[in-house]
Chains A and B, each alone.
Chain A
Amino acid sequence: MNWWPIYGLKRRLTERTAYGSPVTVGRIPASRFGRSLFVYVIDVGSSNALNFEIDALESPQYNIHRFGIYMTDSPRHADVLLILGRPVKAMIGPLEETIDQIPRPFGIIVLDDCPDNSARLHYADLPNVIAEFKGVPDPSQLLGILINCLSVNRK
């Protein structure tokens, strides 16, 4: 097998595509998300497809870092909270605690992968919701939403 850098460069994995947002993305007043966006992901009751799509979003085809988009390990470092799924009762408390920890200003993006299922609780009165998507967006759609959160478009 070729030396790693040669193997990787030959594959030319990163796409050169324009990513549009499938939903309208709001703006947070006094938002300073100019050139970078740190995203914290929380699963509150998804069916797991959304978790897999987040992993797929981090693949070289999308190469999200070139847009200044990073996944963060702590809500304390986050600009945007990405909520996966409709919360089960047990996760309402942890969700509220997480929102309390995010420094202001921040935004919330909600991905509701089971909108037809009314058996579970609806979202609490969430602050600063800037985008909501019903269903499972594929990574290109999700990337379009995140890019639209930035006020400066990097390519």
Chain B
Amino acid sequence: MNILIGVLQREENEYLVVLKDGKACLDLSTGESTEKEYPNYPLLKDRNLLIKGDPVSGYGVFRFRYGPVTSGLREAGSFSLYTYGEKILHATIDLNWKHREMEESMTGKNSHDAVTLSEKVCSNFAVSHSVACSIAIENAMGIRANTIVRNWRTVLIEAERIYNHLHVIYKLASAAAQKVLASHLSALFEESLRINKALSGSRYLMGINQINHVNFLPDFSTIKKIISDYQNLSIHFEKLYKHSLSNPNFLDRLHHAGMLSRNQALSLGLSGPSLRACGLKDNLNGTTGEHLISLPVVTQQEGDSLARMETRAEELVNSCQFLIDHLKVSDIWDADSEAERPETKSQGEGVGISHSPSGAVGYYVLLRDNRVLHLRMFTPSYPGMHAVSEALKEQVFTDFPFVYDSFGVHFTDAAC
């Protein structure tokens, strides 16, 4: 399945950034046939920061704004909810409150600084952003990162996936008033951040990835402790999760909340767990190192908040096992023959895609004299916010946090 990640304008032509068989491709847009092939093309072409801005009217219908300053969301973003009372008829999402002009900030920077700044686009997706950005720059320079760098990027992305998925499940448990479960999940979340610090020197895995280089490699004597920590984390999580699934109250809160059909997911161009929870497989796993064992693609069928949580829970356990298996042999990874840098270009264009915890992150970079002349980023939270708006229709207000939190999207990531 090919997924359209982004649309960009270069000189007089329009190009499409597409994920094909796990590879990032830059295709020329063919106008009308593009819209038939990729139903999310109009959505990505406009990149409007006001999502589903058309108002709704009717007898007794009123609009109220939730955000940008509210403890329920905390991030700077707002929902305009149209309702006649108990149910949400329509939700408009305004991303302007969090628009920090990151693309403009990165333009003009040298390639090294651009990768560093990409981590600040959405710090809980720091590795995903920096990997996608560095792959785009490496493609522009005509180089391919050596095996050790590719391996560590894969490891760090899975470490990022673990703490993000824990955070989503913790938020869902809190929203369902499962206070004890939420406390224990919160403890595991904090534990995962501490493991990140032991692995990389940074709780959010920042400052590690660079162009054909990783800045920090753990002392191999501490790898054993890290492996043991991941084993304990996985065991505790599985215990808690199985116990939570025996709670009919918790399951019923999530079941059928925020349903998204397969067709809706495809038309919005979703990727990641939100797409896979609708029973569709994407091939984002192909963006990781092909020499490492590929993780299984986890799918559910219902497309509701429960399915999205179950997808994430299974991915979390798989990622823990992946890290345990690969960290054990990380001391024998060898740089391949490409480690001796071939001639690099200081100008060119390239695209890169990485597999973030919430879907595909894509970057397009145009380099000139080793400086970023033009940059576009395509984040999973943008189509994700469209999905949130779609999934909120006909939901009662009390189900709002289940819908919003289950997609794992962030205003920081969507607004850029």
Binding site for B on A (CB under 8 A): 1, 4, 7-8, 11, 13, 40-49, 51-56, 58-62, 71-75, 88, 90-91, 94, 97-98, 113-114, 117, 119-120, 136, 138-139
Q: Which residues of B contact A (CB under 8 A)?
A: 68-69, 71-72, 74-76, 96-101, 104-105, 117, 120-124, 126, 167, 170, 180, 183-184, 186-187, 189-191, 193, 197, 203-204, 206, 239, 242-243, 410, 412-413
With A8-B180, A8-B184 in contact, is A45–B76 under 8 Å at CB?
A: yes
Q: Which residue of A lies closest to B68 (CB)?
A: A94
By the criterion CB–CB under 8 Å, are B189 and A60 in contact?
A: no
| B186 interface neighbour in A8, A53, A58, A90, Cβ under 8 Å | A58
Question: Hey, which chain A residues are within 8 Å of B74, CB to CB?
Answer: 41, 43, 51, 54
A residues within 8 A CB of B72? 73
Known contacts A74-B71, A117-B120, A119-B105, A52 near B204 by CB under 8 Å: yes
The secondary-structure label for the interface of chain B is: helix
**Min distance, Cβ A24 to any Cβ of chain B, angstroms:** 24
Q: Which residues on the A side are within 8 Å of B183 (C-beta)?
A: 8, 59-60
Chain B residues with CB under 8 Å of A51's CB are 74-75
11 further A-B contacts with Cβ under 8 Å, apart from A11-B184, A41-B71, A59-B187, are A43-B76, A45-B100, A47-B123, A48-B123, A49-B204, A52-B123, A55-B189, A56-B189, A59-B186, A60-B183, A114-B120
Q: CB-CB < 8 A to A4: which residues of B?
A: 180
Asked if B71 and A47 make an inter-chain contact with CB atoms under 8 angstroms apart, the answer reads no
When distances are taken between beta carbons in the complex, the residues of chain A under 8 Å from B104 are 119
7 A-B pairs with the lowest CB-CB distances in the bound complex, closest first: A49-B123, A59-B190, A73-B71, A59-B186, A48-B412, A47-B123, A47-B120
Q: Which residue on chain A has the smallest CB distance to residue B116?
A: A116
With CB as the reference atom, state the residue of chain B lying closest to A61. Answer: B190
How far, in Å, is B344 (CB) from chain A's closest CB?
27
Q: Which chain B residues lie closer than 8 Å to A114 at the CB level? A: 120
Looking at A90, A97, A136, the one whose CB has the most chain B CB atoms below 10 A away is A90
Q: Give A49 to B164 CA distance when docked, in angstroms.
A: 11
Contact call A42/B69, Cβ cutoff below 8 A: yes
Pick the contact of B101: A59, A94, A119 (CB < 8 A).
A119
Bound CA–CA A39/B170 (angstroms) = 21
Bound Cα distance A42, B76 (Å): 8
A-B contact pairs, 8 of them (CB 8 A): A48-B412, A49-B126, A59-B189, A60-B183, A62-B190, A90-B96, A94-B69, A136-B204
Chain B nearest CB from A42 CB (Å) reads 6
With a CB–CB cut-off of 8 A, which chain B residues contact A53? 203
Q: Which of A48, A61, A98, A139 contacts B124 (CB 8 A)?
A: A48
Interface-central residue, B101, B126, B187, B410, by most chain A CB under 10 Å: B187
A117:B412 contact, CB within 8 angstroms: no
